[in-house]
Amino acid sequence: MIIRPIVPDLGERRPERGRRPGERIVRIVRPKSFRLTGKGRYEAKDSAYESESGLGHAFQRVRRVLIGRALRSEAEALERVSKKVGLALFAPDNITSSAYATEEIMRVLVLAGIAALNLTEPITVAIIAVLAIVIVAEIRVIHAYPQGGGSYQVASENLGMIPGLVAAAALLIDYTLTIAVSTAAGVAALSSALPAVHEHRVLFAIGLIALVTLANLRGLRESGLVFAGPTYLYLGSYFALIGYGVFLMLSGGLPSYVPPPQWLGSYERNAEALTVLVVLRAFSSGAVALTGVEAIGNSVPAFKKPEPRNASLTLVVMGVCFAIIFGGLSFIGGALDIVPDPNEAETVNSQITRTLVGVGPFYYVVQGITALLLLFAANTSFSGFPRLASILARDRFVPRQFAFRGDRLAFSTGIIAVAVLASLILAAFGGSVTRLIPLYTIGVFVAFTLSQTGLVRRWWRLRNPHWRLSIGLNAFGAAVTAVVAVIVAVTKFEFGAWMVLIAMPLLVALFYGINRHYRAVEDELVADPDELRVEPLQPIVVVPVSRLDRAALRALSFASGLSRDVRALHIDDDEASAKAFQERWTKIVPEIKLDVVTSPYRALLPPLQSYLDDIDRDDTRRPITVVLAEFVPRHWWEYALHNQTALRIKLALFFRPNTVVIDVPYHVPPEERAP
């Protein structure tokens, strides 16, 4: 005997006779796909996620090959990193700016003639000075927010919602552009060594973005070992290169560099006057050097204890490494009188390396490791953008889908969104680093300015020990970054910065609008205390029936269990067949009321909707429930031949108020399947 409770539980209890007379055993049949964890609580097992259909199973296998096995939520453990590993993980975004910062300064200065390139070094020094100020200010952020405070959090907490949203918009734009610029720069480094790549640089770049996207969807954890090797090889290679260059400079053995005459001619022919504006533009181009500084501040909890101290030291080391490489390349480039390639086929770094050491194994190592590390820099944004988007989704400023973690614990929606956006931007700008740079730095400096200003407010409010010093440092940091932001916006406005200046407020408006919508919906849905009860509703059930077959009978049986008020509706375009249907109905299902409507214009939906409007008018408190019979064919490719009417009805009724639509599928029983 099997005991079947009125409200069935998952699983079953089967009493059985035991060995001895009067003895009983209760066999507990466990649910196949759920594990009991408490009274009325279950956990879905792996088998609950397995598809039962052949097509679904095949799709899951393809997904598993591409993205990997699903991970359980508790698999996301926070691994603490040392300073050495932290530098490798979080510094590439900033350090790799040295791959193109010198070149971008030169590209602007050379517009005023070859002689203007002499200003490269002083501009480099100015940028390094700004970097030092930003790093000192960022250390205050690290100590103020040891739990990892991004500019969005700092600005929101201390300045309010709108400044927080501006910071968020600036950061999201910055993350997207980091991927576009880093990938374009990586391809440029590759094409310097392999010229054939240059012609197809956009395709290459999009292909690389796709690869990194897949890696991130697989939940590629920034494994210390994976990143450490290339990062330290990059640092080692450039330190060696710069050390060798300095040695040659000091010993008077610097090789001579001769640019192609057509380059010189091209620049001299089109030279404009060297004005303050040109110098400021060159400065703002080189200011890309300051991108990536916030990566360490956002990742403080990832460091070993004491986290703020270790993160701060790593930030300082990062800044020093970058300053050595950036400064070294600028000075050596100046000493060699390097001229940037007007066709962008070879990078300035490649020219410097080639001139110093020739085209040998070391040259290819430098170019290769530069390209690889630029990809790693792009990868940092693949975790930054989705993480920030998930926080915004939690705060209801972006759609909730951005908070969803996929099979591999990665924020899949954010990863795919940033990949698509970066690819589109990269394609639109022809894969050119120089054309992308004007858009790049504004977001960073706006975010910096807001977070520094937020900190000033915080110190003023909290009055911690040394609050005056903290305010001074952060106020100075905010002022410097604000000035740089204005310089970048003004000097790069016509070259593309206007797009970012328009995009930021539009994004803020979008975030605000989404939040307002979610809050309005919340207000609509949250029940008042006196509404917190369940009152049974007796729906009016309507079953559209075109044919009295097994599917229809199943739907009618189901409908009869829902309510006492069930009516069938038959819509026919022929009076005679409608009458015949009615007569057959009276013989077979007399207990259910049938309404027959003849539709002279042969349409189904308008008469159905009008019928529902009419019965709804009688009692608007009772929901109308439309029960639809749906035949489920044996094979998926047969779906297109069935249920189109049911689908049309569902779509038509979806937005109808006070209406519930229920599908009652009819599956062909196994024994009736064709051999």
Partner 1 sequence: MKPKRILLPLAGAAVDADVVRLAALIGKPNKAQIEALHVIEVQWNRPLDADLTEDEVRAERLLEAAEEVGRSVGITLQTEYVAARTAWSAIVHEAEQRNVDLVIIGMPYRRRMGQVTVGRTVQNVFLKAPCEVIALRDRAVPA
Binding region for partner 1 (CB under 8 A): 3, 13, 15, 18-20, 23-28, 30, 35-39
- How near is the Cβ of 30 to partner 1 at its closest, in Å? 7
- How near is the Cβ of 79 to partner 1 at its closest, in Å? 24
Q: Which is nearer to partner 1, 5 or 361 (CB)?
A: 5
- How near is the Cβ of 15 to partner 1 at its closest, in Å? 7
Length of the chain counted residue by residue: 675
Q: Which is nearer to partner 1, 28 or 502 (CB)?
A: 28
Interior/surface letters 463-480, b for 16+ CB within 10 angstroms, e for the rest: eeeeeeebbebbbebbeb
Q: What CA dihedral angle connects 240, 246, 251 and 252, to 10 degrees?
A: 120
DSSP structural state of residue 255: P
CB 660 within 8 Å of CB 627: no
Q: Which is nearer to partner 1, 29 or 359 (CB)?
A: 29
- Looking from the CA of 245 toward its CB, the CA atoms found within 13 Å total 27
Q: Which is nearer to partner 1, 24 or 635 (CB)?
A: 24
- How near is the Cβ of 13 to partner 1 at its closest, in Å? 6
Distance CA 141, CA 298 (A): 9
Could you tell me which of 301, 306, 340 has the C-alpha nearest to residue 113? 340
| 369's tokens | 């490791």
Could you tell me which of 556, 539, 538 has the C-alpha nearest to residue 547? 556
- How near is the Cβ of 43 to partner 1 at its closest, in Å? 9
Q: Which is nearer to partner 1, 36 or 136 (CB)?
A: 36
> C-alpha distances in angstroms, 658 versus 244, 406, 456, 605, 617?
79, 34, 53, 17, 11
- How near is the Cβ of 50 to partner 1 at its closest, in Å? 16
Q: Which is nearer to partner 1, 34 or 257 (CB)?
A: 34
- How near is the Cβ of 51 to partner 1 at its closest, in Å? 21
Q: Which is nearer to partner 1, 19 or 305 (CB)?
A: 19
- How near is the Cβ of 36 to partner 1 at its closest, in Å? 5
Q: Are strands 12-17 and 24-29 parallel, antiparallel or unpaired?
A: antiparallel
CB 312 within 8 Å of CB 142: yes
- How near is the Cβ of 1 to partner 1 at its closest, in Å? 12
Q: Which is nearer to partner 1, 13 or 466 (CB)?
A: 13
DSSP characters over 355-411: HHH-SSHHHHHHHHHHHHHHHHHHHHHHHHHHHHHHHHHHTTSS-GGGG---TTSS-
- How near is the Cβ of 16 to partner 1 at its closest, in Å? 8
Q: Which is nearer to partner 1, 37 or 251 (CB)?
A: 37
CB 345 within 8 Å of CB 358: no
- How near is the Cβ of 6 to partner 1 at its closest, in Å? 15
Q: Which is nearer to partner 1, 5 or 600 (CB)?
A: 5
Could you tell me which of 515, 591, 422 has the C-alpha nearest to residue 164? 515
- How near is the Cβ of 221 to partner 1 at its closest, in Å? 24
Q: Which is nearer to partner 1, 12 or 157 (CB)?
A: 12
Listed in sequence order, the residues at least 6 apart from 265 whose beta carbon sits closer than 8 Å to its beta carbon are none
Q: Which is nearer to partner 1, 20 or 617 (CB)?
A: 20
- How near is the Cβ of 64 to partner 1 at its closest, in Å? 19
CB 404 within 8 Å of CB 411: yes
- How near is the Cβ of 33 to partner 1 at its closest, in Å? 13
β-bridge partners, 594: 568
| 106's tokens | 């030169």
Q: Which is nearer to partner 1, 23 or 52 (CB)?
A: 23
Q: State the residue for tokens 């390209």.
A: 371
DSSP structural state of residue 14: E
Q: Which is nearer to partner 1, 42 or 498 (CB)?
A: 42
Which class for 318: exposed (0-12), middle (13-18), buried (19 or more C-beta within 10 A)?
buried
| 439's tokens | 């858009």
For the four alpha carbons of 316, 91, 477 and 98, in that order, the dihedral sign comes to: positive
| 156's tokens | 């929101």
Q: Are strands 12-17 and 659-667 parallel, antiparallel or unpaired?
A: unpaired
Distance CA 470, CA 372 (A): 38
Q: Is 69 left (phi over 0), alpha (psi -120 to 50) or beta?
A: beta
**Side chain identity at residue 359, one-letter code:** V
> C-alpha distances in angstroms, 508 versus 156, 479, 548, 574?
13, 23, 56, 58
Q: What is the CA radius of gyration of the chain?
A: 34
| 295's tokens | 């990566």
Q: State the residue for tokens 């970012």.
A: 500
- How near is the Cβ of 29 to partner 1 at its closest, in Å? 8
Q: Which is nearer to partner 1, 45 or 656 (CB)?
A: 45
Q: Which is nearer to partner 1, 13 or 57 (CB)?
A: 13
